[in-house]
Amino acid sequence: MNRRRDRGLVSRLIIVSNRLPVSLESSEDGSYSLRQNIGGLATAIAPYHKAHRDCLWIGWSGVDPDQYSDEELDRIRQAYKANRCIPIFLSQDEINGYYAGFSNNTLWPLFHDFSHEAQFNPGEWETYRKVNMRFAQVIEPLVLKGDTIWIQDYHLMLLPKMLRERYPQASIGWFLHVPFPSAEIFRSLPWCREILEGVLGADLVGFHTTDFVMSFLASVHRLLPELAVDRDGMVRMPDGHRAAVDAFPIGIDYNLYARTARSSLARAMRRGIEESAGKSTGHRYRSSVAAEGDAATEAGKRDGAWWSRHRLEELPELTLAQSAASSIGQKQNKVIVSVDRLDYTKGLPERLKAFGRMLQKYPEWTGHVTYYLLATPSREDVESYRRLKAQVDELVGQINGRYSLLAWTPIHYITRSLSIKPVCGIYAAGDVALVTPLRDGMNLVAKEYLACHDGREGSLVLSDMCGAADELTDAFIVNPYDIDMVCEALHDALEISPEVARSRNIRMQARLKVRTASNWCMSFLDTLRQVSTPGMTDRRLRMDTRNQMVDEWQKASNRLILCDYDGTLTPLVRNPDRAKPTKAIRQMLRQVGSQAGVDFYLVSGRSHETMEQWFSDLPIGLIAEHGAWSKSVNGPDAGIWKRAPGLPEAESWQPLVKPIMEESVQRVPKSFVEVKADALAWHYRMSDARLAEPERDALSSRLQEAVAGKGLMVMRNSKVLEVCPVATSKGQAVLPWITGGHYDFMLSLGDDATDETMFAVMPDSAWSLKIGTGATKARARVLGPTAVQLLLRDLAAGTAVGAEPRTRTAGVPGGFAQGES
């Protein structure tokens, strides 16, 4: 029975993922508690879940129900419920078919381009379908009208359609954390059409990168040719529902990693690593390496010892020891780090071979570079994973056996699972991080490493087969299959000067600080709301267009932003005085306005006195009263309020118009008149619309009559009726800036009819963004102030980033240092 209840329009979020963000721990007294899981997904969404008291999270508990009595299971449910989590219990057969089987043995390899590892087992597919149905059945009684449901990852690809059939009006999002393969690979899956149709039950289908979006749409085009993709990039389903497909690159909690790297435990770990790598202790380590070098030289000369039967070149160990000794004092000791789950997608054997090749090709690194390899085994019951573990063990053994000195071992191989503090200690100790997956949706390790090097040097060698490479363009980008290329990049990364490494990091870190996990979460949910709102999909600002805008912004030298305030930068509120800028908005305006080559203007209908009071201390220009007043941010008139020429004097008309408006104030409770230097506005946002709207129409006619022939006009805006001089409009006011030829990037943003006058005068090459519904001349549309704030923060970080297009290291003339000097 459908027990869906009506809760009005309040939107509550239900998150659905394979695993819950918390794991069960039982104590000796028989009670149960829950521990927060670490990992990208849990870290990204858990803060939203915690902050919203009515947000629910549904997922597999990891608890085997056969191990517990009914009473114990009830207590476990209660423990989860206290954390607003609803556990799903799966039997061993279900886990084998749905999780270990179809998810991990079919979808995981296929989606990571390892089709040769993929198994196509109809029984496992059937269990996958049944478990997706189980999820739908658990969710069903919990869904209320107006709820938003956000489903995560490849384990639950059939669920969006199952829920759509139950709730045609629900707002459903689905996000894939791993790559989406090419149509050629995807179509080899016998159930590929069902999977696509399952996912397309969502209103918003999200991926990490625009490349994955394109692969997905290519599969839709090829496998479901009957479905049309409309000009807004939405897939039309036969039931009339439309699914938007877009990219949302996930971030990390930057401050958490930067802070944890500074914790005493992480600092102690870092010191320990540096000492054992011979970075800081120096003396004993050096004397041992030197002694071993001497011994090698000695060995070459003496007769009678066992090695005398060999020529030196047959015993490279001896020359290595000499080489290690000879580079003492010339080579600073360095640490390489990597942190992985032991999975074939992570490229561990290839990476180890590249490290081995570097020691062979550049023997001066012998004794002077230590690789800390944290690789925790996973899925050990699967044969291919066991084989991988054996291969990695063997490679580590070979390299260590071949190159070790008495006081130095090239690879420290750690297979334990470590918690966040030691992991941050390892990251912080690394002069170089070697992050070379053969395929990865995003890869958070690369981002975490950079956060642990906040504001300081430390080089990143990064595979271009992961989503992170799209954003971290200042890294040493490599093809992880190309052993020589990784070897060279590693050598270059070790040799790079600290100043250059630091400046590269600062650019990447500026971006990571803005594109955080919580901003990713906000951005996905904001877009989901937008695509679920009628009238909001037309000209939606998609990720590819947004990227194009950011790209043009970065290439420009002189940038102009013209931004409305109420309803654009900040939400519309019932009492206009309450729209005072928050600390976060002021901070953002300061950040954007203080960038070199950026002029930011707030273009508002508010009085210039209010604008002065709220914003005069910020490095931005102000245009007030729809253009009647303006204050430049630079030039000879910078900081001086100027009144537009030729306006009728306020004393000549305000005494006549104000009493007419005040009559309406008498008739409509909670409405009021705002007096500006060159305008009068009747506000009725706080009033009952049934009373206010007929009065607005009547007042509008009375005002039209009263101001006829006086050079004044009556403007109708969102819950405001305003009288102002004909000669003023935002469009008129911004003309001097946009026609001056000074700016090579221009962006205007606004939400109402007054802003349309601005959009109308923008040149074709400029950007314009409409906030909210309604006909518009703007180039693109976003939902509301949240999207505007995220975009402006991103642009501000982009100015700091100034990233070059992504290039693989080798094969580029001048190598990676190009453009650096």
Q: Which residues are catalytic?
A: 564
Which residue of 45, 178, 451, 792 would you call a contact of ligand ADQ, by CB under 6 A? 178
Q: Is 423 in the site for ligand ADQ (CB under 6 A)?
A: yes
DSSP assignment, residue 408?
B
Phi/psi for 388 (5° steps) reads -60, -45
Which residue of 147, 253, 274, 340 would you call a contact of ligand ADQ, by CB under 6 A? 340
The secondary structure element, H or E, covering residue 319 is helix 316-326
Query: Binding marks (x or -) toward ligand ADQ, 701..740, rule CB under 6 A?
Result: ----------------------------------------
Which residue, 322 or 479, is less far from ligand ADQ as judged by CB? 479
Which residue of 11, 263, 376, 594 would you call a contact of ligand ADQ, by CB under 6 A? 376
Q: Select from 522, 568, 518 the least CA-distant residue to 148.
A: 522
CA 584 to chain centre: 19
Whose tokens are 């690809």? That residue is: 157
- Distance of closest approach, residue 266 Cβ to ligand ADQ, in angstroms: 13
Q: Is 256 in the site for ligand ADQ (CB under 6 A)?
A: no
Cα 549 from Cα 314, distance rounded (Å): 60
Which residue of 127, 148, 443, 799 would you call a contact of ligand ADQ, by CB under 6 A? 443
- Distance of closest approach, residue 441 Cβ to ligand ADQ, in angstroms: 3
Cα Rg of the chain (Å, integer): 31
Cβ pair 136, 163 in contact under 8 A: yes
Q: Is 250 in the site for ligand ADQ (CB under 6 A)?
A: yes
Which residue of 100, 118, 138, 418 would you call a contact of ligand ADQ, by CB under 6 A? 418
Which residue of 40, 109, 160, 278 would you call a contact of ligand ADQ, by CB under 6 A? 40
Q: Is 39 in the site for ligand ADQ (CB under 6 A)?
A: yes
Which residue, 76 or 442, is less far from ligand ADQ as judged by CB? 442
Q: Is 104 left (phi over 0), alpha (psi -120 to 50) or beta?
A: alpha
Which residue, 203 or 448, is less far from ligand ADQ as judged by CB? 448
Count of C-beta atoms within a 10 Å radius of residue 74: 11
Cβ pair 367, 289 in contact under 8 A: yes
Q: Select from 808, 804, 805, 811 the least CA-distant residue to 503.
A: 804
Count of C-beta atoms within a 10 Å radius of residue 821: 6
Cα 409 from Cα 402, distance rounded (Å): 10
Which residue of 448, 471, 488, 599 would you call a contact of ligand ADQ, by CB under 6 A? 448
Q: Is 177 in the site for ligand ADQ (CB under 6 A)?
A: yes
- For ligand ADQ (CB under 6 A), the number of binding residues is 21
Considering only 436-444, 619-627, 658-666, 683-691, which stretch makes contact with ligand ADQ by CB under 6 A?
A: 436-444
Which residue, 461 or 589, is less far from ligand ADQ as judged by CB? 461
- Distance of closest approach, residue 362 Cβ to ligand ADQ, in angstroms: 28
Longest dimension (CA), the chain: 118
Which residue of 36, 78, 287, 417 would you call a contact of ligand ADQ, by CB under 6 A? 417
Which residue of 20, 86, 202, 445 would you call a contact of ligand ADQ, by CB under 6 A? 445
Whose tokens are 């915690």? That residue is: 50
DSSP-assigned states of every residue in 454-479: TTS--EEEEETTBTHHHH-TTSEEE-
- Listed in sequence order, the DSSP H helices in 52-191 are 70-82, 92-94, 108-111, 122-139, 159-166, 183-186
Which residue, 452 or 589, is less far from ligand ADQ as judged by CB? 452
- Distance of closest approach, residue 104 Cβ to ligand ADQ, in angstroms: 12
Considering only 83-91, 338-346, 381-389, 759-767, which stretch makes contact with ligand ADQ by CB under 6 A?
A: 338-346
Cβ pair 747, 562 in contact under 8 A: yes
Considering only 37-45, 82-90, 502-510, 780-788, which stretch makes contact with ligand ADQ by CB under 6 A?
A: 37-45
Q: Is 426 in the site for ligand ADQ (CB under 6 A)?
A: no
Q: Is 274 in the site for ligand ADQ (CB under 6 A)?
A: no
Cα 293 from Cα 451, distance rounded (Å): 39
- Distance of closest approach, residue 556 Cβ to ligand ADQ, in angstroms: 31
Which residue, 466 or 493, is less far from ligand ADQ as judged by CB? 466
Pairing of strands 621-624, 598-603: parallel
The secondary structure element, H or E, covering residue 317 is helix 316-326
Which residue, 283 or 416, is less far from ligand ADQ as judged by CB? 416
DSSP assignment, residue 209?
S
Cα 175 from Cα 157, distance rounded (Å): 9
Cβ pair 690, 639 in contact under 8 A: no
List of residues contacting ligand ADQ (CB under 6 A): 39-41, 177-178, 250, 339-341, 374, 376, 417-418, 423, 440-445, 448
